[in-house]
Structure formats: structure tokens, C-alpha cells
Structure 1
């Protein structure tokens, strides 16, 4: 053993001088974006011990660099020609960094190179033809860069090449016909590359090809018949490539899993031989010009999970009953064709179906009455523009995961099921317009109050039916179309409680009376259409004060008087007033008559009154100023903004909250923060609803601003992963002191901090969160941040993201809470305010906040990155074990990628029979996969928490990566579960 160690040391010390110089030159060009050197390349350490560097141990490679692998480290810089001096280099893997510049032709001098992966960088220039000199090359991956020019035909001489991935660049020219020389090629990825010309017949000579991706190019011509020779092919993806002709026979591709030929101009029929490809799991032929019938043979594809034949327009006949045999099918899209006949009862056998699209066909008959019972997993049910009649099946209420329900343009009649929305809490779109639905009394409208509980409901379209009743109270609704029904009476004042409304259309009814003032409470309203009614009175001035209102249609009513001259009324092309003959004034572009009615007759009288008033105004002003001075010294001036915000919610009294929390008893205390305490309560006037009551400590500096920020933010936003505000209280307590509180929905599983650190928080009854749960929580939090950062009209910055502000409901779905420091981007605030200077919590707050920088979405991303690292290491960023010079981020970064298992939370590993976690030195395959997934998540956390704000990834990109990691891991888990049965 000692001899081996000494030999190894002599080997390290004897590293080739040229290799050392080449790596030193490479290191000199690298940075991490913040100006600091990369986390490797210490000159005091032998080169062969540098991170990512491997050296040979035997023969002529002894002491020579054979691998340089530094993927995903955020490195910036250019690749120097000196790397071409690494004579024995076999692997060069620098993917997932931020490298730029041209690829040096000197890389072609690496005669022993077998693996070259420079994907996901920003390299420019052309692909060096000299790479053809690397005759041992097996993997050439330059995916997702900025390379241009043609694919060098010289690369087609690399007979040993197994992977050629050049997609996501801006290449020009055609696919070289010499591609057929790559006899060992298994993967060819050229998608998203702007390539032109046809698909070479020679691709059919690649007998070992497993994956072929040519989509999103500008390829011309037809699909070559030679592709039918690729018997090993599993993935054939050529969407959006402008191909024409018919689909050639591919019936010999017995291993094919994915067939994606959508968004081309293919003609002919849907081939019957598809039914012979028994391994297919995904078929997409949408947006072509296919004709004929859907072949019955498709019913033999027992493994198929997704079938998309939509937008072909020429498919005729009926839906074959054989599709009901596809027991694994989860998505069936047949939209925009010319299908006829009735809804096949056999489709009710597809119990796994969650997406059913039959829009824009000629289907008729009744919808199956038991569809919701037979298809309980339905999330999307779209049958618009058909000829269905009968009623909407009440059984749809049993499809508890339903998100989208669309039956527009059919002949459905009867009543809307009263149960709709009671169980489907995830409903986001309900479009039932242009049918013959009826509702004549309040009993028919129970479903509207049920929909009020659907926090994600964004669009409700009930237009062009025969409905008669009150419009309901849908506080979370974004779009409401109730046009062309039989509604009479006045516009209900309850419409003002629909705070999230952005589009309201109640045109074409028989409404009377005036526009209620409550409509002015809809601060987010963008489009308002009240045309074709019998409304009267003046146009209220508050419509001009609604800043977001961009389209206003008041045509064909009985409005009279002067038209306002502000807001939307300043845009004559966005304001429609035709058919109101008694209107006057407005801006000149509206071409309305001037308002002379009785003005001149009363001018003298008004002048006298004005002069009289002006003569006594100075005296009144003096008295008022003295009174105001006296009153201000007796009592603090109330904040008008708080009153305004409080009006956005149904108010609750101090006495009700005292009763709900048993006098704010300590037994009901569930948390405390910077500005107040949170109590569990039960509202007796609301079906004994359990709530969380946040009581502000108004003696704390900044508490009032925190109350304002939280109310204003939660008034605007609606998202399943944000905590929901129920009501507010701005009053005085029994001692006459000012009292402010916010009431939220109660989430029974506490906060994430309690789950990660149960001993500290005294929550030892919590089980450890497994990997799947942590991934889902991480995705939930990222989803909420993406929503906030994309919020219109101005992004919202949370400013205090940390585990204790992530609450978990009964299903362990995460909800981000505590918006007491939240701000709209570029929001102005008083610099002297203690609240205005707060930027979050130590350890989670972005480093730039420490030097007084303005808040930004990048600051939230930093906090999220630290939260991710804490979730998967179960170590707080303020733990003393790191020391000030290291910190949680650097602690993890130093361990990646090779030693991630040493820093990950060991509770993520499964327990042995005696209840102990498996030790890191005894991992099996499953444990290694968990460690690998955790390492991938940690890398995202590192990317989110870069020192420089501009180097941090966008939260949307982080979200997509996490979703991909989750999907892949859950698929492995599912496959393992299946194989073990």
C-alpha cells in the first residue's frame, strides 16, 4: 500500500510540463463571472490533483492529462489553442458553462480524443473542420451554442462516432449526404438549426441509429423511404420542418417509441401500419394535411400514452371504437378535423385519460352521462364547436382534477350542474357559451358560489345562452363573459367583490339602471363591455380613474350627459359610445356635441355663488387649519391608503377575532415574526372555518408598512402556491389602541423550516421529507416566484424568502407566505422608513442588499438558491460549522460534483431494516440515483445563488430544470415499482 502511494505521488510530481502549461493557460482565461478565480487550479497543488483533471497511470499515458471535465460550474472565458497540446486527452467535457469565443482549430490535434462535449455554452464562429482529425471521436456534442455556417462534411469521416449533437445553433446549408458514412452513429440531433434542403436518403444507411431529431428546421421535400430501414430507431422527431408528401412505410421500426411528425405539410392518410408498432408510446401527427379515416389498427398500440392527430382538417369518418383499447393513453387530441358520429362509448374505457380534445369537428349526439365516473382523471375536457346536444353530464363533478371544461358552440341545453366546482378545486377555465343552457332561479346558480372556491379559476364564459339570474360573487375570477343571455334588472353591486376581474362582458342583455359605484373597486379591470343593454344615467367619472382599463364599450344604451376626459376616455379608438344619443362633450376625436344644456341660462347665478364662496373662503380656511392643528396633536393622522386597502376585503371586527382565537390564547400561537404573531382560530360566522390570524405588533417600527405591503400584494395576486388572504381587520381593541390583523387560510402542516429542523422547532412528530416531497416543494416555491416575477403590470419582489415562510397544506403542497417586505419592482418608498431599508433575513438575503442596492427579482432568486441548498443538505446558511469564510453555498460548491453524497441530507436515503440510514460508503444503485438527483438540484441552487446578480439563472429556467429532474426520477421510481410486482 505504501509503495502504491509513493508511486502515485511520484507520478503526480512527474506530470508532463507541456500539459501543465496548457492547463495553466486554460485556467488563466477562466473566471466565475464575479471576477474571482474558478474553484480549481491551485498552482500549489499538482496538476493531476486539480478538480476535474484526470491523468494516466500506466504506459505512455503515465503522468499525462487524459480528461478535463468541468461541466456546470458557470465558468466564463474562452478556450485557448493551448488545449491542443494535451496530446493524450481523451475526454473534454465543459458543457453547461458560459464559455464564448470561437472553437480553436487546434482541438483537431487531439488525436486520442473520444468525448468532446461543449454543449450549453455561447461559442460562436464555425464548427472546425479540423475535428475530423480526431479519428477516435465517439461523442461530438456542440448543442445549444451560437455556432453558424455549414456542417463540415469532413466530420462524416469519423467512422467511430456514436453521438452527433449539433442542434440549437444557427447553422446554414443542408445535411451532408456523407452522413451515411457514420456507420456506428446512434444519436443524430440537428433540431432547431435553420438547416435547409432535403433529408438525405443516406440517413437510411445508419443501421444502428436509435434517436433521430431533425425538427424545427427549414427542410424541404418528403420523408425518405429509407428511414424505414432503421430497425433500431426508438425516437423519430421531425416536427416543424416544412416537409411535404406522404408518410413512408415505417412498419419495420419495431422498436419505435416516439413518432413526432407534426406541424409539417404531410398529405395522404394516417397509415394503418402504425398499429403494428406495438412499442409506440407517443404519436404526434398534428397540423398536417392528412385525410381519410383514423385506422382501427391504432387500437393495437397498448403502450401508447399520447396520440395527437389534431389540426389536419381532412380526417373524415368517425372515431374508431378500437381507440378504447389503449388502456395506457393519457392524452388524446383529435381537434380541428372533420370527424363525424357520436361520442364513442369505448373511450370511457380509458381510465388513465387526463387530456381529451375533440374541438372543431362534426360530432353529434349526447355526451355520455357517466363520463366523469369512467374518466376520473380528466384534467382537460374540450369539445367546442361540435353538434352535441342534451345536457352537461353532472358526473363531470366527479372528475375531481378537472382544470379546463369547454363546450362552446354546441346545442347543449338544460341546467348547468349545481355540483360543478364543489370538488374540482383546480378549475381554471369554464367555457359553456353559445349553447342553449337555461337558469331561471337562484337554485340553478348554486354552481356559481361553488366556483368561488376554485382559487385558480381565471375564465368563466357563459355567453349566448338563456340564463336569467344574479351574476354571483367570484372573487378570484379573471375573465367573465355573460353576454347575450336573458339577464334583466340592475347590475348587482356584488360585482365589486370580484377583485381579480380583468375582463367583464355582460353585453346583449336587458340590464337597466345605472352603473353601480362598486364596479369602480375592480382595480385590475382591463376590458369592460356593457353594450346592448338598457342602462341609463350618466357615465360615472370613476371609469376614467381606472388606470388599467384599456377597452370600454358602452354602445347602444341610454346614457346621457357629459363624457369624462381622462383615463380610457382619452383614447377614442378604445372607447365605444355609439347609440347613446344624449351624450355630449368628451375629447374632440369622439365628435360628440358640446354640453350646452342649461349652462348659459344659469351662468350668472353660478358666478354670483362662486364670488360669494370665494369671499368667505380665507376665513373658512383659517378656521380649518386651526382645527386640524389641534386635532393632529390629539390623535395621529390616519393613513388613507390603509383604509383604501382594507376596503378590498370583507371586514372582520376585533371582537370576532378575539372570539375566534380564544382571546389570542398562547395555546393557539403557531408562529411569530418580525412584525407580529400568528394565531390559529376558528371563525364561527363562516361554517367554523379554521384560519390563521396574523396580529401586527404596531409598536414595532415598520409594522404598519408591512401590513400595507402584505395587503396590497395579496390583493393583486392569485396562485395555487401563494398563501390566500381571507379578510383583514383594521380597527381598535377593547383598550382603544389601534389594531391591525390579516386572516389567512390555515395550512395544517406548518412550515418547511419545522420539517427540515424538527428538533430545533420542537416538532419531532414530523417524519423526514423524502426526495419526491422535497422536489415537489421546491417546484411549488419556484412556480410561485415565477408567477410573482412575471406579474403584470409590475413584477413583485418577495424580499424575504426562507423555509419558515413556506407553508404546507394537508396535501403537502407548498404556499409562499409573509409578504410583509414585498414590493412591486421600482416601487418608491420612504428612505427614512425602517421598513423601506429592510431586505430580508441574514443568510438568505442577497449579498448586494448588504451594500444598499435596490431590491430585484435576482435577489429573490438568490434567496431561493439558498433555500434549495438548505432543503437538500438540511443545514441552515447561518450554521456555525461553516465559518464566515465558507458559508452554506461554498460548502456545497466545494463538494460538487464528486462528493455531493457527503453533504446531502442523509435522511434522503432509505432506512435499513433496523431504522438506520444507509451509510455513504455502502450505496447501492438506488442510493446513487438519489445522490445524483440531489447533486443536480444542488447545482441549480448554486446557479441561483451566484455572487453577481447578472450571473444568476432566471427562476423560470430553474423551474424547468427541476421539473425535468422530478419527472425523470418519478419515472424511475414508477418503473422500479412495476418491475418489482
Structure 2
């Protein structure tokens, strides 16, 4: 059949090719074929793919743009990212990777690639992220990486790269992060790196570099993290925006320059394990944001500057293994913020351990061993209620062990060996429930050794070098104590007469005390204003008139909150020197209000902790209408409640602030549950009962439902409140609804819900939680795959920007969001760990819930890792 003439056929053919030519050319494009060929050669360099999921799709039956780890540009179908991080791959990096000319991201971190970094990488002119860290690569750095003019991040840390740092790197004008730590680099730091004006992180720690930091490096005023090796600090004077300065474990020499005090944003200063000498500059006291100060294992001399006491955010101070002399400044032992470690060991410090050490109520570890300290151990040491590790060995302490040490109920290790201590071993030490190691050797103790608690375990106890000790368990091998022999001059009749006389006098004395107590009680009932019967000598005395004046007649303008049992007003008491106070006025017409008042007073009378609201005094009196009036006066918390910060637009807490608050609350509950003489259950942990002071330190408040627990043969019984209501809907554990008594596990559940709310941004009472779904199940079912859907959206983006600035490194149109975030995944890992703790605490079964001591430890560890803290002796 005749279909067309020659002219019409030619026209149809031209029309067909004009329509389909772009698709035909794309399939035959040499660039596409070059990319496919380069990827296949890259695959041939891999000798092991343990999971099999990486290269199962790398076959011709699939287009290479759909292969695992490959992303292509939509328009040209050219490879723009090769991301195979954390797949346990083994092999070498093929030189053909240099043919992927459109590549912007090369991410092979956390594998086992060996061999050299191929020189052909320098052909990748569009490359922006080069992430090869945590492999076993060797050889030298490619010398012409400056050809990759778009590079923003280079991370080659934790490999075996050797040789010198190429001078040409100074031409990478857009470079923001240069991380070369933990390699075998040698030579000096090129002065040309001073041209990298966009650099925000520079790390070459744990290398073998020599020489000085070039003076040109001082131009890097935007630097937020700096870590170098085998150099000194003289050229850092312009780095006023530093946040973390990490130079640990290298070969630094010289002194710390005084201008370090200009780095007012500095939060972490880690210089341990070098050869620094001279004085520790007093200008460090200007660093009021400093959280971590690690100066151990150097050659510092002179005294420890008292100005460090101005570092009111300091959580860790480690100056161990230096040549420091002089006294321990009172200002340092008065740092309430110290919570992780105070390590002064192996210096030549003299004088007494200051009495102010008792102010370190939140400190976890204290080590003053190996010095020349003398005098008696201060009794205030018993106020350090969070101590778990206390080492005072190898000093010249005298006197006895203060009985107050029995208050350190969280103590796990205690070393007082090699001192000049005398007297008997306090029996209170055998009641420390968590003590695992006790070393009292080489002192002058005498008398009978206790036989309970830790003293039953001879392997956990060292008493050698105390010749006058006796008794104890047989495994200690001590001589038996001589029996008490009555003096010969006393007859049976005289002993009987003395006994009868003592009994009669005792009965008379008890009657006199009872009569006096009754009279005092009657007198108090007849008087109108009653000052705090439980306020110590520092507490003020207030009346209804004082409070009426302080609040302008309890004006609504001064009302700052209202709860089930009362209203809270802000006021100013003249006797408090015009500092604001919070006045909680009880609604006495409310059922159980009076009991709530007594419960809260009884609790707050017996507790002292940095993260518990401080009761100044209370008032129990009559108002101007002769109605009964009761009020509690607290220290004012200037930043309000956690509830407002979580759920009001003005709040906007960042990740670290939330973590600090979570640690504060966990520390307070650990104290209440395990470190009080009589354990306490709060019964109503929720955001509105967590108050923040001006430094954003969290304090637990509102003990109106609290219960005191007394131990008797390890069986707990309720002592104070008989209130039926326990907790708040959403935060109260499910067993309370079934009539179960209040318990520490109930507080743990409430804390778990609080923790999930803090990091998810969702209240447990939101409308979405119906038909068996609650906040616990919502988070648990989402982890770990849907972590980003669970986390409060206000946290992750901002913190990612603060930690690494990685998210802003590339236009989002040029990469996959999840791939660029691979450059800084630790933030998600921290969030995942925190949410897992919240899920574990809020488990439905009480047996599956964590203890608050373990919660506090785990959160401390997360914060330490987040801040880059490593604790070394």
C-alpha cells in the first residue's frame, strides 16, 4: 500500500526526530555514560559489602540514578551526590570518581576504605562536601584541592593521612569547615590558611605538627571551633567569637596568653595533655559562659586564680597533674554550677580544704588527692549531697572522719588513705547504700571496725596501716577487740543504785519537758502572728501585715500564678533588702489546703538542693478580718515556669537549655528519692511545677502533694500526707488511677512524660491522644525511623545551624536535605538517646522504669558528649 510520497515521508521523519531528539540524546549522552562507567569502576574497588544492600541495585537493569546512595540532577540526569556513609564498606576509592564532574557531595564517612585519596578528586570542580572521616585512608592530601573552588566542608579526620597540609588549601575562599584531626600530619600550619575568612571550624588535633600558629590566622574572627596540635596560642587574639577551643593531647609549649579572657563567648576550653607552663591567667574569670575548663597534665605553676570563681556557668574544672601551689580559693569551692567534676589532684596545693566546699551541692566528683593539704576534713563536706566519687588520699589531713559524711547517700567511692586521720571509723559509713569502694589505709584509726554495709565485703575495703583497729569481719584478719571489763571498785549494789537514780531523773526530766512543751503550744495558739517554727537563724520573720504591704494588698497586678491550693504573688519585703519574693497564699476554704500547707512545710524544712525551690519562711496568722491566713514565702524565680517556656511563643528554648533543665530536674528527684535522710516523693512533676531562675537553672516547686517515706527493714511506708489526689492528669502514672500508693516509680513516670513533652513539644493532654494513644506510645512507636517527625520543630534546625552551620552550606535545591544533614548527625543521635530515656521512664510497668540516679547519669553523659567533654585524670 502506498503510504506517502517522498516529500511527505521526509516531513514526517523530521517531525518525529524534532520531538524525540532530546530524549534520544539524553540516553546516548556521553556525560551520562561517563557517570555510569565511573560508578561501575567505583564498585569494582569495593571488596566487601557486608549488608549487601548497597550494591544489590548497582546493575544495568536499573538506571544508575536509582542506585543506592546516588542522587542525580533532574534536568541533566548527572550524578550530584554519592552518599554511602556508615555501610561498613571495605576497599579503595577508585580514581574514576574524579570523572563524576557534576558531583557536589562525596560522603563515604564511617567505613573501612583504605589506600590513598585519589588525586583525581581535584577534578571535581563542583564539589562542596568532601566527607571521608573515620576510615583507614593513608598517603598524602591531594595537593591541588584548591581546584575544587566550591568546597565548603572537608572532613578527613580519624584516618592515617600523612605529610604536610597543602598550602593551596588557603585558596578555598568558601571553606567553612576543615577537620583533619587524628591523623599523622607533619610540618607546620601553612600561613595561607589565614585567608579562609569563612572558616567556622578548624581541627587538626592529635597530629604531629610543629612550629607556631601563623600570625595571619588571627584574621579568622568568625571561627567558632578551633583545635590544633603542636603549636602555641600567641596568634589567637582576634578570635573573639570562639565558642569551643580544643587543643588537647598535643605538644603545646609556652603560656596561656591573658587575652584568652576576651573570648567572652567561650564555653569549652580544653588544653589538657600538653606542655604548657607558666601561670594560669586570672583573665579566665572573664569567661562567664565557660562550662568546661580542662587544663590537666601540663606544667602550670603558681596558684589557682580565685577569679575562676566568676565563671558562674562552670560545670567541670580539671587542673590535675600540674605544679600548682598555694591555697584552694574559697571562690572556687563556692561555685554552685560545678556539677560534673572538680579535679585538683597531683599538684602541690597547701592549706585547708575550705569550708565552702559544702556549697558544691550538685557536684558529682571531687578529687584533691596527691597534694599537701592539711587540717581537718570540714564537716560541711556532708552537704555535697550529689557526690558519688570523693578522693582525698595522699595529703596531711588530721582529726577524725566527720560524721556528716554519712549524709552522702549517693557516694560510691571514698578514698582517704595515706593521711594522718585518727579516731574511730564512723558507724554511719556502713549505712551508705551505694558505697562500693572504701580505702582508709595508712592512717591512725583505732577501735572496732563496723560489720554492716560495705564493711561486710573485705574485697571492697582497705584498712592496712592502721595498727590500732580491731574486730570487723574475719576476712580482714584484724585482732579481736578486748572485752569491756568493769572497774573492780564498783559493787553490784552501787551499780544498782546508780541505775535507779538515773531512771528516776530521766522520768522527771521527761515530765518537765512535756509540761514545758504544752505551755509553749498553748502560748502559740493565743498569739496572732506566728513566725516560722522551722525557719533557721537565717530565715526572716513576717506577719500578715508584712505580706499585705509587700503585695500592695494582694493586688491582682502582682498575681503571677494560681493553683489548686493557692495563689502566688510577687512581692518585695524590706527585710529581704527589696529583693523580690514569691508569696504563695493558701486557699484555706479548699478541701485539703491546710494539709497541703503542712505537707509542703514539712518537706521544705528538711531538704536542701540547688534544684529545689528555696523556702525563705512562712506565715500562719489572722488577716484583718480575723480569718485564718497561711502563706509560704519562696525565693523568686525570675524566668517563670517551664510551662510558659515550652508552650508560649516567647519561650523558644534551644536544645542545650532543654537538656540542662532536664538534668536539673533529674538531679533534684535523685536527691529526693535516694539522698535525703528520709526519701521524699513529689507526686506532681509537671512543667508548671518547674521554675527557672535568672540563670535558667531549674528548680522543682510545689510540694503540696509530697509524701515522706521512712525506711524500716527496707520497707517504705507513708508518713505525711493522706491526700487522696496524686498528681495531674496526663502526668500521673496509670497505677495511681487503680488506687496504688504514691511511689518513687510514680515520680519517674511523671518525669518521663515531662522529658518527652520538653523535646517533642506536645502536651500529654492534647486532643490527638485518644483511643489508647498517649504521649509515651506516640514517641515509642515513632523511634527511630520517624525521629524528626517526633521532635519539636523549633529545636533541630536552629541547633544544627549553631553546631556546624552545615545546613546553610548549600542551596537546598542542589542536594537532598537528609544527605546534607549527614554531615552533622550527632544532634539527632543525642535527641534519640534523650527520647529513649523518656520512653523508658514512662513505661507502663513500674518494674521497667529507670531510677532517677541512672537518668541523671545518662543525661550528664549526653551533655558531656554534646559539649565535647572528655574527663581524664
TM class by shorter chain equals: 0.5 to 0.7
Note closer, same or farther for the CA distance 1:843–1:612 as it changes in structure 2 (3 Å cut): same
2:322 matches 1:493: no
Which residue in the other structure is 2:438 paired with? Answer: 552
- Bigger shift: residues 670-679 or 615-624: 615-624
Q: Give the secondary structure class of the aligned counterpart of 2:269.
A: strand
Deviation at 1:405, TM superposition (A): 0.8
What CA RMSD, in Å, does the superposition of the two structures yield over aligned residues? Answer: 5.4
For the 8 Å contact 2:441–2:462, the answer to whether it is kept is: yes
Deviation at 1:585, TM superposition (A): 1.6
Distance 1:969 1:266 in 2: 33
Which residue in the other structure is 1:185 paired with? Answer: 65
Matches within 5 A, 1:935-950: 945=775
Deviation at 1:587, TM superposition (A): 1.3
2:383 matches 1:513: no
Distance 1:775 1:845 in 2: 26
Note closer, same or farther for the CA distance 1:978–1:951 as it changes in structure 2 (3 Å cut): closer
Distance 2:789 2:516 in 1: 55
Deviation at 1:364, TM superposition (A): 0.8
Deviation at 1:605, TM superposition (A): 8.8
Matches within 5 A, 1:17-36: none
User: Which of 230, 248, 251 lines up with 2:118 in the alignment?
Assistant: 248
For the 8 Å contact 2:112–2:136, the answer to whether it is kept is: yes
2:784 matches 1:967: no
Note closer, same or farther for the CA distance 1:832–1:540 as it changes in structure 2 (3 Å cut): closer
For the 8 Å contact 1:709–1:822, the answer to whether it is kept is: yes
Which residue in the other structure is 1:364 paired with? Answer: 253
Post-superposition Cα deviations, 1:246-280, rounded to whole Å, max 9, x if no partner, equal 33332234444444333333223444445554544
Deviation at 1:743, TM superposition (A): 6.5
User: Which of 626, 637, 641 lines up with 1:747 in the alignment?
Assistant: 637
Post-superposition Cα deviations, 1:603-629, rounded to whole Å, max 9, x if no partner, equal 989996999599869987996999699
Post-superposition Cα deviations, 1:411-465, rounded to whole Å, max 9, x if no partner, equal 111232322141x33211111111122224xxx725315x5242x5321111122
Post-superposition Cα deviations, 1:61-113, rounded to whole Å, max 9, x if no partner, equal xxxxxxxxxxxxxxxxxxxxxxxxxxxxxxxxxxxxxxxxxxxxxxxxxxxxx
2:476 matches 1:590: yes
Matches within 5 A, 1:552-591: 552-591=438-477
Q: Scaled by the length of structure 2, what TM-score is found?
A: 0.66
For the 8 Å contact 1:330–1:354, the answer to whether it is kept is: no
Note closer, same or farther for the CA distance 1:496–1:773 as it changes in structure 2 (3 Å cut): closer
Deviation at 1:594, TM superposition (A): 1.9
Which residue in the other structure is 2:51 paired with? Answer: 172
For the 8 Å contact 1:725–1:742, the answer to whether it is kept is: no
Post-superposition Cα deviations, 1:259-304, rounded to whole Å, max 9, x if no partner, equal 4333333223444445554544444333333333344444444544
Distance 2:658 2:533 in 1: 34
Note closer, same or farther for the CA distance 1:783–1:487 as it changes in structure 2 (3 Å cut): closer
Which residue in the other structure is 2:220 paired with? Answer: none
For the 8 Å contact 1:490–1:511, the answer to whether it is kept is: yes
Q: Give the secondary structure class of the aligned counterpart of 1:345.
A: coil
2:320 matches 1:452: no
Q: Give the secondary structure class of the aligned counterpart of 2:405.
A: helix
Which residue in the other structure is 2:315 paired with? Answer: 428
Which residue in the other structure is 2:21 paired with? Answer: none
Which residue in the other structure is 1:461 paired with? Answer: 343
Distance 2:503 2:404 in 1: 37
Distance 1:659 1:606 in 2: 64
Which residue in the other structure is 1:143 paired with? Answer: none
Note closer, same or farther for the CA distance 1:386–1:322 as it changes in structure 2 (3 Å cut): farther
Distance 1:676 1:607 in 2: 66
Distance 1:965 1:782 in 2: 17
For the 8 Å contact 1:183–1:207, the answer to whether it is kept is: no
Matches within 5 A, 1:788-867: 799-802=683-686, 804-810=688-694, 817-821=701-705, 837-842=724-729, 845=732, 849-852=736-739, 855=746, 857-862=748-753
For the 8 Å contact 2:275–2:299, the answer to whether it is kept is: yes
Note closer, same or farther for the CA distance 1:951–1:961 as it changes in structure 2 (3 Å cut): closer
- Bigger shift: residues 390-399 or 854-863: 854-863
Distance 1:606 1:743 in 2: 58
Deviation at 1:505, TM superposition (A): 1.7
Deviation at 1:479, TM superposition (A): 1.5
Deviation at 1:222, TM superposition (A): 2.6
For the 8 Å contact 2:705–2:727, the answer to whether it is kept is: yes
Deviation at 1:578, TM superposition (A): 2.1
For the 8 Å contact 1:315–1:339, the answer to whether it is kept is: yes
Deviation at 1:537, TM superposition (A): 1.6
Note closer, same or farther for the CA distance 1:552–1:344 as it changes in structure 2 (3 Å cut): same
Structure 1: stretches of 5+ with no match in the other structure: 1-156, 158-169, 191-204, 638-645, 758-767, 878-886, 895-941
Compare relative contact order (CA 8 Å, sep 6+) and give the higher one, 1 or 2.
2
Note closer, same or farther for the CA distance 1:389–1:950 as it changes in structure 2 (3 Å cut): closer
Q: Give the secondary structure class of the aligned counterpart of 2:232.
A: coil
Post-superposition Cα deviations, 1:189-212, rounded to whole Å, max 9, x if no partner, equal 59xxxxxxxxxxxxxx99514250
For the 8 Å contact 1:426–1:457, the answer to whether it is kept is: no
Which residue in the other structure is 2:88 paired with? Answer: 218
For the 8 Å contact 2:376–2:397, the answer to whether it is kept is: yes
User: Which of 416, 424, 433 lines up with 1:530 in the alignment?
Assistant: 416
- Bigger shift: residues 269-278 or 627-636: 627-636
Note closer, same or farther for the CA distance 1:782–1:624 as it changes in structure 2 (3 Å cut): same
2:267 matches 1:379: yes
Distance 1:628 1:435 in 2: 61
Deviation at 1:311, TM superposition (A): 3.2
Note closer, same or farther for the CA distance 1:426–1:654 as it changes in structure 2 (3 Å cut): closer
User: Which of 214, 225, 229 lines up with 2:99 in the alignment?
Assistant: 229
Post-superposition Cα deviations, 1:852-909, rounded to whole Å, max 9, x if no partner, equal 467364455556778999x88xxx99xxxxxxxxx8414x999xxxxxxxxxxxxxxx
For the 8 Å contact 1:414–1:437, the answer to whether it is kept is: yes
Note closer, same or farther for the CA distance 1:555–1:867 as it changes in structure 2 (3 Å cut): closer
Deviation at 1:591, TM superposition (A): 1.8
For the 8 Å contact 1:846–1:863, the answer to whether it is kept is: no
Q: Give the secondary structure class of the aligned counterpart of 1:420.
A: helix
For the 8 Å contact 2:665–2:698, the answer to whether it is kept is: no
Distance 1:176 1:772 in 2: 44
2:361 matches 1:475: yes
Distance 2:784 2:739 in 1: 23
Which residue in the other structure is 2:830 paired with? Answer: none
For the 8 Å contact 1:552–1:574, the answer to whether it is kept is: yes
Matches within 5 A, 1:124-135: none
2:595 matches 1:701: yes
For the 8 Å contact 1:317–1:339, the answer to whether it is kept is: yes
Distance 1:188 1:617 in 2: 94
Structure 2: stretches of 5+ with no match in the other structure: 1-35, 37-48, 71-75, 212-230, 522-531, 812-873
Distance 2:251 2:111 in 1: 30
Distance 1:406 1:791 in 2: 28
Which residue in the other structure is 2:214 paired with? Answer: none
For the 8 Å contact 1:845–1:859, the answer to whether it is kept is: yes
2:156 matches 1:285: yes
Q: Scaled by the length of structure 1, what TM-score is found?
A: 0.59
Distance 1:589 1:957 in 2: 56
For the 8 Å contact 2:645–2:652, the answer to whether it is kept is: no
Distance 2:95 2:427 in 1: 69
- Bigger shift: residues 848-857 or 542-551: 848-857
For the 8 Å contact 2:122–2:142, the answer to whether it is kept is: no
For the 8 Å contact 1:274–1:298, the answer to whether it is kept is: yes
